[in-house]
A and B are shown apart, each in its own frame.
Chain A
Amino acid sequence: MEYTLRRKGLPAIRPPLMKRIADASAPYLYTAPALILIVTVMLVPLVLGVSYAFRDVQLLNPFSGAFIGLGHFRALAEDEAFFRSLRNTLWWTGASVLLQFTFGLILALLLDKPFRGRALAQALVFLPWAVPSFLAGLNWAWLFNPVVGPVPHWLYAIGIMSQPANILSDPQLAMWGPIVANIWWGIPFFAITLLAALQAIPRDLYEAASIDGAGPVQRFLSITLPFLAPTIAITILLRTVWISNFADLIVVMTGGGPADRTQIVASYIFTQAFKRLDFGYASAVALVLLALLLAYSLLIVILRQWLISKD
């Protein structure tokens, strides 16, 4: 800031030094409380966690903690279990997001049409989202359990299964257990956000289109879909990141088993950190996952910018 006053015929007046320092530092002092808070609660743990990745931190070994450089990453490059969990993550995330979105969209389209008791239906649809994920996981694990749950018997009855077995213990099918639970749990998110976007579409656009000669399918393709596109893009991006990080259901329902068939990267980190108590290795895996998700998000952001600029 320039406080020098220029007057005709008078020498320039400079305010005293202390005042100038106070003026210059004022904006930093105003932002300091927020900055300090952010640094202590976000940056410090982040840096600490990242530093673990380069150190040998094992909870049960009091002599660990030494700096080992890229040792964890070298081990990771040869870790078959890690690569399997990476493939499982793709499978888990892809199937969950796609099916959550599909059913969420169908539900939103149904709830968009007025009918008796719609308000109640909208409230009920939101319910699974409010169920704690651990409770949802336990519930579904029981539903899939042939001793206490009905699902295997139903599948047997309609001829899909040759005997009422627990799919969670079948290496070929186990992943479908948490995926089904995840779909049930995540549909409300898509249904509610897409419903909000649907209801923001001006009704007279549909009327204009129907007069122009568009049938229901053409109206959906030329009005509904273009209007929903930004919401669809942002919700799918968000859910992809969340779900690939979301280990709760897997930890509760299968614990990554049988034989690591349902182990995703996030649950692998959990297993490494809290079952093997190898915090250093877990941090290294987490760092790789972070890098992958950052790259994915960046890709989407670039894609979005490109789509907007093309507009």
Chain B
Amino acid sequence: MASIDIANIQKSYGSHPVLHDVDLAIRDGEFVVLVGPSGCGKSTLLRMIAGLESVTAGEIRIAGKRVNELAPKDRDIAMVFQSYALYPHMSVARNMSYSLRLRKTPKGKILQVVAGAAAKLGLEPLLERRPRALSGGQRQRVAMGRAIVRQPKAFLFDEPLSNLDARLREQMRAEIKKLHKDLGATSIYVTHDQIEAMTLADRIVAMNAGVVQQVGSPLDLYDRPANLFVAGFIGSPGMNFFEGRYHAGERPRLEIAGGVGIPLETPAPIAEGDFTTLGIRPEHVVLAGHGPETLLANVDLVEPTGFGIILHLSLGGSSFKAFTHERSFLTASGTVPVRFPDHSLHFFGQDGKRI
């Protein structure tokens, strides 16, 4: 186990840059999730840490030691691949013990370690099987077993659950979390699934277009997204945005398209007449109103999820969503009163940054 320091990392393919100046310090035993849409460079960053991609500029240190020039096998890390990458001609036990056999570990020790890992992952009855005789979830477990037998300095996960169905993904997610609690090993986990990121991470690194957008605890990113990208990426259904012009004064309001004014309870830290983007999560929209300034939103669509109801609404042509547990909205039609409570509003400047 070790800390991992990433300093000013850059990566380009030819003249095409894919990672710009990434800085990240991962503490010993921390579970860090790199999250972002596909093509944002998160997998490239992980593969650079593993040594599968060269570093164009900057420095990667594992346990304080520069590893830029080290081969993957000398970095003492283990990786779980999206495709599992199990050796198809080896049994489960031999798959798991391959790295130990390469290091000429004594036979007795190998047996003991493999048995220990198999017990931890529930693989004991499958040890003599070939990977093709296993289900997706079992293969996933073998891939994790292969990673833990070596007790490496760090675990790298490259979208390990993407090939599983939703139910199994949920189950494996919990198992990975439990495993991390048991082993306490430094882990870096790449995913495009914000739920995985939220549930697993000690810290989330949100990335977009090769640039780190925000680093913080899951709730940091949920409660105080640093910019429009993070605000829209974290949370499901995603945050609603209204673009408009701010009017300060007696009754501060945001004038949005269609001449609708969204009343604000307290003045926002924005100059009079400035354009701004207001964000509010669907679950924070209050479906009730009082007073003469109550906004009435058109109901466009009602999506029941069982757990709650997603209402697709619109205000003067700007559509947005609201999430409610109130079953009476199942039959909502026409207009409903809506209110945007001040404490759950997010303001973003024209550069997309949080105000």
List residues of A whose CB falls within 8 A of some B CB: 202, 204-205, 207-215, 218, 222-223, 226-227, 311
Q: A209-B98, A222-B98 are in contact. Are A214 and B85 (CB under 8 A)?
A: no
How many residue pairs at the A-B interface have CB separations less than 8 Å? 55
Given contacts A213-B99, A222-B98, contact A204 B73 (CB under 8 A): no
The answer, yes or no, to whether B79 is at the interface (CB within 8 Å) is: yes
Which of B83, B89, B102 touches A212 (beta carbons < 8 Å)? Answer: B102
A208 touches B79 (CB 8 A): yes
Known contacts A211-B50, A211-B72, A211-B73; A204 and B81 CB within 8 A of each other: yes
In residues 41-66 of chain B, which contact A (Cβ within 8 Å)? 50-52
- Check if B77 is an interface residue, CB within 8 A of chain A: yes
Give the complex CA separation of A251 and B63 in angstroms: 70
Known: A210-B72, A211-B78, A214-B73. A204 touches B102 (CB 8 A): no
* B87 within 8 A of partner (CB): yes
Q: Is the CB of A212 within 8 A of B81?
A: no
Residue in chain B with minimal CB distance to A205 = B85
Question: Which residues does chain A contribute within 8 Å of B52, judged by CB atoms?
Answer: 207, 210-211
Q: Is residue B247 contacting chain A, with contact meaning CB distance below 8 A? A: no
B109, CB-defined interface residue at 8 Å: no
Give Cα A165 to B137, complex, Å.
69
26 interchain pairs (CB within 8 A)? A204-B81, A204-B83, A205-B85, A207-B52, A207-B79, A207-B81, A208-B81, A208-B85, A208-B86, A208-B87, A208-B146, A210-B51, A210-B72, A210-B73, A211-B52, A211-B72, A211-B77, A211-B79, A212-B73, A212-B102, A212-B146, A213-B99, A213-B103, A214-B98, A214-B102, A215-B73
Residue contact A204 to B85, C-beta cutoff 8 Å? yes
Q: Which of A202, A210, A214, A218 contacts B83 (CB 8 A)?
A: A202
Query: CA–CA, A177 to B241, complex, Å?
Result: 80
Interchain nearest-CB distance for A228 vs B (Å):
11
Q: Shortest distance in angstroms between A221's beta carbon and chain B's nearest beta carbon? A: 11
Per-residue interface assignment for chain B, residues 110 to 137, with 1 indicating a CB less than 8 Å from any chain A CB and 0 otherwise: 0000000000000000000010000000
Residues on A with C-beta less than 8 A from B71 are 210
Query: B73 contacts which chain A residues (CB < 8 A)?
Result: 210-215
B contact residues around A215 at 8 Å (CB): 73
Kindly report which residue of chain B lies nearest to residue A226, judged by CB atoms: B89
CB-CB nearest in chain B for A208: B85
A211 to B51 Cα, complex, angstroms = 8
Given A212-B73, A212-B98, A213-B73; A223-B87 close (CB under 8 Å): yes
> Measured between alpha carbons, how far is A223 from B78 in the docked complex, in Å?
18
Q: With A and B bound together, what is the CA distance between A237 and B81 in angstroms?
A: 36
CB-defined contacts of B146 to chain A, threshold 8 Å:
208, 212
- Bound together, the chains give a CA A311 to CA B129 distance in angstroms of 11
Output the nearest chain B residue to A229 by Cβ-Cβ distance: B89
Interface string of B132-162 (1 = CB under 8 A from A): 0000000000000010001000000000000
Chain A residues near B77 (CB-CB < 8 A):
211
- Cβ of A119 to closest chain B Cβ, rounded Å: 19
Residues of B within 8 A of A212 (CB): 73, 98-99, 102, 146, 150
* Distance (whole angstroms) from the CB of B78 to the closest CB of chain A: 7
Complex Cα gap A205–B88 (Å) = 9
Residues of A within 8 Å of B83, CB to CB, are: 202, 204
Minimum Cβ distance to chain A for residue B12 (Å): 18
A207-B52, A207-B72, A214-B98 given; 19 more Cβ-contact pairs under 8 Å: A204-B81, A207-B50, A207-B81, A207-B85, A208-B85, A208-B146, A209-B87, A210-B71, A210-B72, A211-B73, A211-B77, A212-B98, A212-B99, A213-B102, A213-B103, A214-B73, A222-B98, A227-B89, A311-B130
Contacts of A211 in B (CB 8 A): 50-52, 72-73, 77-79
Q: Which residues of B contact A205 (CB under 8 A)?
A: 85, 87
6 cross-chain pairs, A with B, having the tightest CB-CB distances, nearest first: A212-B99, A208-B85, A213-B73, A204-B85, A226-B89, A213-B102
Q: Which residue of B lies closest to A210 (CB)?
A: B72
For A209, the chain B residues whose CB sits under 8 A away are 87, 98
Residues 220-263 (chain B) with a chain A CB within 8 angstroms: none
Q: Which A residue's beta carbon lies closest to that of B80?
A: A208
**Which residues on the B side are within 8 Å of A214 (C-beta)?**
73, 98, 102
Cα–Cα distance between A295 and B103 once the two chains are bound (Å): 45
- How far is B153's CA from A128's CA once the two chains are assembled, in angstroms? 52
In the assembled complex, which residues on chain B have CB atoms less than 8 Å from the CB atom of A222? 87, 98
User: Which residues of the partner chain B approach A226 to less than 8 Å between Cβ atoms?
Assistant: 89
Q: Which among A208, A218, A226 has the highest number of chain B CB atoms within 10 Å? A: A208
Q: How far is the CA of A297 from the CA of B73 in the complex (A)?
A: 43
- With a cutoff of 8 Å between Cβ atoms, the chain B residues found around residue A210 in the complex are 51-52, 71-73
Chain A residues with Cβ below 8 Å from B78 are 211
**Candidates A202, A213, A218, A311; contact of B85 at CB < 8 Å:** A202
Most chain B CB neighbours (cut-off 10 Å) among A209, A210, A211, A223: A211
Q: How far is the CA of A211 from the CA of B146 in the complex (A)?
A: 11
Residues of chain A contacted by B99 (CB below 8 angstroms): 212-213
- Bound-state Cα–Cα, A215 to B74, Å: 11
A233 CB, min distance to chain B CBs, angstroms = 14
Instruction: Please name the residue on chain B nearest to A204 by beta carbon.
Output: B85
In the complex, A227 Cα to B89 Cα: how many Å? Answer: 8
Hey, which chain B residues are within 8 Å of A208, CB to CB?
79, 81, 85-87, 146
Task: Output the least CB separation between B285 and chain A (Å).
Answer: 44
Docked Cα-Cα span, A58 to B50, in Å, equals: 75
How distant is the Cα of A202 from the Cα of B89 in the complex, in angstroms?
Answer: 13
